Structure formats: structure tokens, C-alpha cells
Amino acid sequence: MKTLSLIGIGPGGPEYLTMQAVEALRTTDCFFMLEKEGRGKDELIEARRTILARYLPNANPRLVTRASPPRCMDANGYREGVQQWHERKRVLIAEMIEQELAEGERGAFLIWGDPSLYDQTVSLISDLVAAAPERLELVVIPGITAVQALTAAHRIPVNRVGEPIAITTGRAIRQQDPRAIRNSVVMLDNNAEFQHLTDQDLEIYWGAYLGCGDQALAAGPLDEVLEELLALRERLREEKGWIMDTYLLRRR
């Protein structure tokens, strides 16, 4: 039997790992990494290497790195493109496990934030386990998400008493009726979709590079802070070359 762990590493800095995650690092034989194309990839890989150096200072961990398959911009639409992309990733991960992990060994992927939130690795590996349950088992170690890093940094609860919470994407919030927003956390938003949500009596709590050394925060009534926030976001994106942000929209 081979074991594959998906270890949630939190939103950036090494201090966000749980004790359970650190223990899982110590019992891992081989760490797998998929390097994505695009700006920021070096920093995301570097963050993982920093975590390994911090928690396994006397070990020389075995690292297996492969280029992550590029996202398919499929002519048949967004969903089909994503499906094809996931299929390629599944094949690649199966190869890595087959070629790089010996019988009885434990491999691991270090997953940004928590493995269950906007990350498909759990589903991809579950498919591999379902195909060969006698040869592969999956262990999931939870992590602190960008959502928790955001609300902690702003010192707010994610919802007010008894209210529902939605966690959604930039693509989905754009298609939603803005009047239905109560407490919506928006992730995976390259286009600052909040700029289209003025005149809705919303507050925004925004954070970029949360939990990292260069964390940036902004908050206030959306209509009042919009221009300043767009300028800040653009400046940070230019300075660093990429941006990773999350925000909560709350009806006032």
C-alpha cells in the first residue's frame, strides 16, 4: 500500500501550519510539487521550500517536481476546459505516484490553505484511490484557509448572528444578483469584480498576500473606498507582478 497525504499549509507563512500538519511533514518520505506557469509561481514554490526547511531542518527531503499541465482554454467552454485540465493533472499525479513512490512509502502534496477549498487535488486523488483501493490510500490534513486569514487580519467574524455565508469566485459573483449578497467571501478574482457592485450598500473587507510578509489590507463602505482600493490593488500587482487577494462583501 502507498499513502498520499494532502497537507494543508495555510495561506503563506510557515507559522500557519497546524501541529498535525507538521507531524505529517515529519512522516513523509517524498514531497510532490506541481509547478504552475505564470507570475508568482516562484514565490509559491519558495513558500513550500521555506516550510520544509523550517520544519525538517535536519532532513534532506526528497522532492519530486513536475510542470503542472497548462489550463486548457477550450473552445467548447469553461467547464470542458477545466475538465480536460483536471484529467491531465490526474494522469500526471498517477505517473508521479507510480514512478516515484515505493511500496509502503508516504508521499505528500503541500496544499495552499486547506485542501477542501477551491482545490481539486482531493477529488483527483480520490479518483485514483477509487480505481485501486488496495494499492493507494489518501490522508487529508486540514489547513487554515485564506478566508480565516482574512477575517482574523480584519478582526471580524465572517458572519453576523444567524446570517448565512457564501464563499464564491470572481466569475460567479459577477453573474449573481447583487441584492442577494449578505456575507459573500470572494476568491479567485483576477478582475476586481467588486468594482461592479457599487450602490448596493455593501461593505468590503479586502486582503492581499494574507499571512505573508507583504500582507495588505483595506476595508470600508465599498462606494467610499472603491477608488483607493482599485489603485492599491493595481500598485501592488505592478510592484510584485502578480496578486492573490480575497475579500468579504457584507450588506450594511
Ligand X SMILES: C[S@@+](CC[C@H](N)C(=O)[O-])C[C@H]1O[C@@H](n2cnc3c(N)ncnc32)[C@H](O)[C@@H]1O
> Where in 9-68 is the site for ligand X (CB under 6 A)?
11-12
55 neighbors 88 (Cβ within 8 angstroms): no
Contact string 198-217 vs ligand X (x = CB under 6 A): ---------xxxxxx-----
Beta bridge partners of 220: 204
Helix (H, G, I), strand (E, B) or coil at 115: coil
Task: Give the total of residues touching ligand X (CB under 6 A).
Answer: 21
167 neighbors 117 (Cβ within 8 angstroms): yes
Neighbouring residues of 165: CB distance < 8 A, sequence distance ≥ 6: 158, 159, 182, 183, 184, 185
Determine which residue in the list 112, 194, 205, 206 makes contact with ligand X, applying CB under 6 A: 112
> Where in 71-100 is the site for ligand X (CB under 6 A)?
none
Neighbouring residues of 65: CB distance < 8 A, sequence distance ≥ 6: 32, 33, 34, 35, 45
Query: Residue 109 or 209: which CB sits closer to ligand X?
Result: 209
- The verdict on 141 binding ligand X (CB under 6 A) reads no
Determine which residue in the list 34, 90, 113, 124 makes contact with ligand X, applying CB under 6 A: 113
Query: Residue 92 or 122: which CB sits closer to ligand X?
Result: 122
- The verdict on 151 binding ligand X (CB under 6 A) reads no
Query: Residue 11 or 69: which CB sits closer to ligand X?
Result: 11
